[in-house]
Amino acid sequence: MTNPITGKTTNPLTSPTRRSFMAMGGAVAGLSSMGLAGWAQNDVEIDVTTLTNTTYQTDVLVIGGGMAGLFAAVKAHDAGAKVMIASKGRVGSSGLTPFAKGYFAYDPDKETVSIDEFVETVSRSAYRTNNPVYTRQLAENSLARAKELQDWGFFDTTLAHRPFMVPLEARDIPIVERLMITRLIKEDGRIAGAAGFLLDAEKTVTIAAKSIVLCTGAGGFKPSGFPVCDLTHDGSIMAYEIGAKITGKEWNDGHTGRSVNPAACYDGWGDMFELTPSMNSVEVHHDLGVDVNYQAYMQGNPINMGPGTPPDAEQTMVEGGPVTPSEFQRSGPPAGGEDGSAGSPAGGPPPGGPGGGPEGGPEGGPLGGGTQRGFAMGGASAGMAIHKSEGLVPVDDRCASNVAGLYAAGDALGSHMSGGIYTQIGSSLAGSAVQGAIAGEAAAEFAAAHPLMEIPAETLTTITDEILAPLKREAGYGPAWVTQTLQGVMIPNFVLYVKKQTMMQAALAYIEELRDHHAPMLRAANMHELRLAHETRNMILSAEMKLRASLMRTESRCSHYRLDYTEIDTENWEAWINISKAENGTMQLEKQPFSAWPEQA
C-alpha cells in the first residue's frame, strides 16, 4: 500500500514487529488528525479487466425515468423517433416522482383568473426571477398532460410505476434501469451519445444517440428527511463538463426537517405514500424559502411554526426575504410602491404570502410550505434549489441547451418556471410533464434532421477508463467519508441558508480541497461504490457552483438570503446567474439579464 504522505510502498504489516506496529499506530493517528481517516486500501471485489461493454443506438436517448422522462419518451416516440430510456433507478419509483402527490392543472373553463393574470401573479411572488415563457407554458399545457395521466391511471394509485409503464409498454419503448450514466459524449460541437455502467452487473454501457433529453432531476447533498438522496445533480454536471451552461445554483429549497425522527419524510397526518395523486388549480403562494432558517439563526432556538405559535412571537421582515409565514398570515403583505421596495408589486409576494397554502400541500409534504408541525427548519432537501430554478440554461422555449442536440426537462432544466421561490402547489409535477413533452418533441425533430455521429474508438477508451478509475485505485478515499465531509461543510444553516461572504469563502476553500485532492482519489470496491464515487464528485462540483453563485449575487431575493446584503438590488440584479466551464477548466460565472432571454417562438 502506498503511503499518501511519504509515497513509500512498504507495508509495516508485512513484518509485524513491535517497533513497526507502534509506528503504524502512530501513522494512523496522525492521518486521522490530519483529516485522512477516510483513506484506505482499496479491497476491490471484482476483476476490472473482465468487465464487458454493451452498446446501443437510438435516435433520442432519454436519461431519467420520472415524470419528465415519461413524457419526453412518449412524445419523442409519437413524433416518429426511435427512443430509449436510461434510468438510474426504477421508472416512476425513484427520484422525487414518488414524493410528488399534487398536480397543478389550469382549466380555463373553471379558473377565475386568466393565464396572463396567473403569469403576472407568479412573477410578482417570484420578485421577477421567473421566466414568464415557461410559466405560461405550464398553464397552457398542464391540463392536456393531466388528461393523459388520468387515462394511464396515474391518479388512481399511490405508486407511479404501473401507470408510467402503460404508455411505455404500449409503444414498446426500450428501458434500461439501474444504469448510471456518467458521461455525455459530444463530437464536432453536438451530441453523439452517452456512457455509464450498470449497478447490478459488471458492465459498462455506451449509447450512441442523435439527441439526448436530460430528465435527471436536480439533487442535494444526500440529507436526511427528504427523498432526494438518489439525486445528485448528475445531469447538470455531465452537461457542464461538455460545455452546457448551468443556472439557478444560488437558490435554496426550504423543505423542512424535524428534530425528532429526522429521516422520516412525513409527520402529523399519516403516511404520505398511502395518498393518491390529486389535481389542484391556481393557488399562488411564496413558499419554501429561508424564513424559518432565518428565525432559527437569529433567535438561537427551534421555531415552532405550528398552531401553538404565540400571536405576539417576534417576527422579522427584511426586504427581499426572509418574510415569515405567520407575519403574512396575520396581516398580509405590506403596502409598497412601484419601485421594488418591500411589499410592492415588483418586490413582494401576493396576498396569501408564504405558508398561505393548504396545510402541508400534498406535493411539498406536510412540512413543505403550509402550517409547520412541531419544531422544524429548512434543511431536509439541503443542496437542492427551488423546483425548476436550477439546471441547464434553456436557449429557447423548447428546452434546448446551448449544446446542439442536448435538451433538458423538469428539475434538470433551469427554466425558472416559478423563479427563485416556489409559487404554485403542484407546479413541479405538472411542469415536469409539460416540459418533458415539449423537450421530447424537440429532440425528435433534431434527430430527424441529423445523422448519428461517429464516436472515435480512442474516445470510448478514454471515457471507459474515466468511468472505472475508482475501481482501479489501489488506495484512496471512501466516497461515503468524502460525502460526510462535504455535508459537514455545506449543510450548516449559517453556510447554505443564512449566507455571508466570510463563511461562504471559508466553505469554498474546503470544497476546492475536496475537488482537487479528494475527488481524484476516490476509490470503489464494487459497482455500488462506483456509483457513490461518481455521485460524490458530482455533489462536490455542485457545491462549488452554489457557493460561487451565492457569493456573486450580492443581494437578498426569494430563497437566497445574505446577512451582508439584506435588500433587493433591482439596479444590478435583475438577472440570472449562469455557470459554464472555461477552457482552462475553471468555473466562469455570468449574468443573464431577465430582459435578454429570447422571446417565445
Say which residue, 313 or 117, is predicted with more confidence: 117
pLDDT in tens, 48-100: 999 999 999 999 999 999 999 999 999 999 999 999 999 999 999 989 998 88
Res 31: pLDDT: 41
Say which DSSP state 447 is in. H
pLDDT greater than 80 at residue 478: yes
pLDDT in tens, 175-214: 999 999 999 999 999 999 999 999 999 999 999 999 999 9
Confidence of residue 331 (pLDDT cuts 50, 70, 90): very low
Confidence of residue 281 (pLDDT cuts 50, 70, 90): very high
Of 19-28, 134-143, 451-460, 503-512, the range with the lowest mean pLDDT is: 19-28
pLDDT greater than 90 at residue 375: no
How confident is the model over 395-402, as a mean pLDDT? 98
> 198 vs 177, 232, 343, 530, 561, CA distance in Å?
8, 17, 52, 10, 40
Cα–Cα distance, 100 to 117 (Å, whole number): 26
Residue 477 φ then ψ, to 5°: -90, 135
Res 201: pLDDT: 95
Res 48: pLDDT: 94
| End-to-end Cα, the chain, rounded Å | 60
Residue 197: which of 52, 392, 404 has the closest Cα? 52
Res 235: pLDDT: 98
pLDDT greater than 70 at residue 396: yes
Q: Are strands 203-214 and 52-63 parallel, antiparallel or unpaired?
A: parallel
Yes or no: say if 261 and 253 are a contact pair by the CB < 8 Å rule. Answer: no
Which grid cell sits at 164?
408510467
Tell the residue number behind the cell numbers 477508463, with chain if given.
465
187: Cβ contacts below 8 Å, ≥ 6 apart: 453, 454, 455, 456, 459
Nearest 5°: CA angle at 53, between 48 and 57?
160
Tell the residue number behind the cell numbers 398536480, with chain if given.
103
Q: Give the predicted TM-score (pTM) of the model.
A: 0.85
Which grid cell sits at 247?
443556472
Res 302: pLDDT: 53
Yes or no: say if 539 and 479 are a contact pair by the CB < 8 Å rule. Answer: no
pLDDT greater than 50 at residue 9: no
Yes or no: say if 293 and 379 are a contact pair by the CB < 8 Å rule. Answer: yes
Cα–Cα distance, 76 to 125 (Å, whole number): 34
Confidence of residue 594 (pLDDT cuts 50, 70, 90): very high
Res 337: pLDDT: 29
Cα–Cα distance, 407 to 394 (Å, whole number): 8
- Amino acid at the residue 62: V
Of 75-89, 377-391, 403-417, 492-506, the range with the lowest mean pLDDT is: 377-391
- Amino acid at the residue 562: R
pLDDT in tens, 377-388: 788 899 999 999
HSE-up of 53 (CA within 13 Å, CB side)?
A: 16
pLDDT in tens, 526-541: 999 999 999 999 999 9
Confidence of residue 32 (pLDDT cuts 50, 70, 90): very low
The number of beta carbons lying within 10 Å of the beta carbon of residue 525 is 16
HSE-up of 445 (CA within 13 Å, CB side)?
A: 10
Say which residue, 51 or 345, is predicted with more confidence: 51
Buried b (16+ CB within 10 A) or exposed e, 39-51: beebebeeeeeeb
Q: Are strands 102-104 and 278-280 parallel, antiparallel or unpaired?
A: parallel
How confident is the model over 7-20, as a mean pLDDT? 39
The number of beta carbons lying within 10 Å of the beta carbon of residue 427 is 28
Res 229: pLDDT: 86
Which grid cell sits at 535?
455521485
pLDDT in tens, 146-173: 999 999 999 999 999 999 999 999 999 9
How confident is the model over 372-396, as a mean pLDDT? 84
Say which residue, 325 or 404, is predicted with more confidence: 404
Crossing angle (nearest 10°) for helices 501-513 and 527-552:
150
Of 273-282, 503-512, 553-562, the range with the lowest mean pLDDT is: 273-282
pLDDT greater than 90 at residue 174: yes
Helix then strand then coil, in percent of the chain rounded to 5, is 35, 20, 45
Res 99: pLDDT: 85
Omega prior to 311 cis, within 30 of 0:
no
Cα–Cα distance, 140 to 108 (Å, whole number): 9
Q: What is the average pLDDT score of the chain?
A: 83
- Amino acid at the residue 523: R
pLDDT in tens, 228-255: 888 999 999 999 999 999 999 999 998 8
Res 287: pLDDT: 87
Res 502: pLDDT: 98
Helix (H, G, I), strand (E, B) or coil at 184: strand
Res 327: pLDDT: 34
Yes or no: say if 323 and 330 are a contact pair by the CB < 8 Å rule. Answer: no
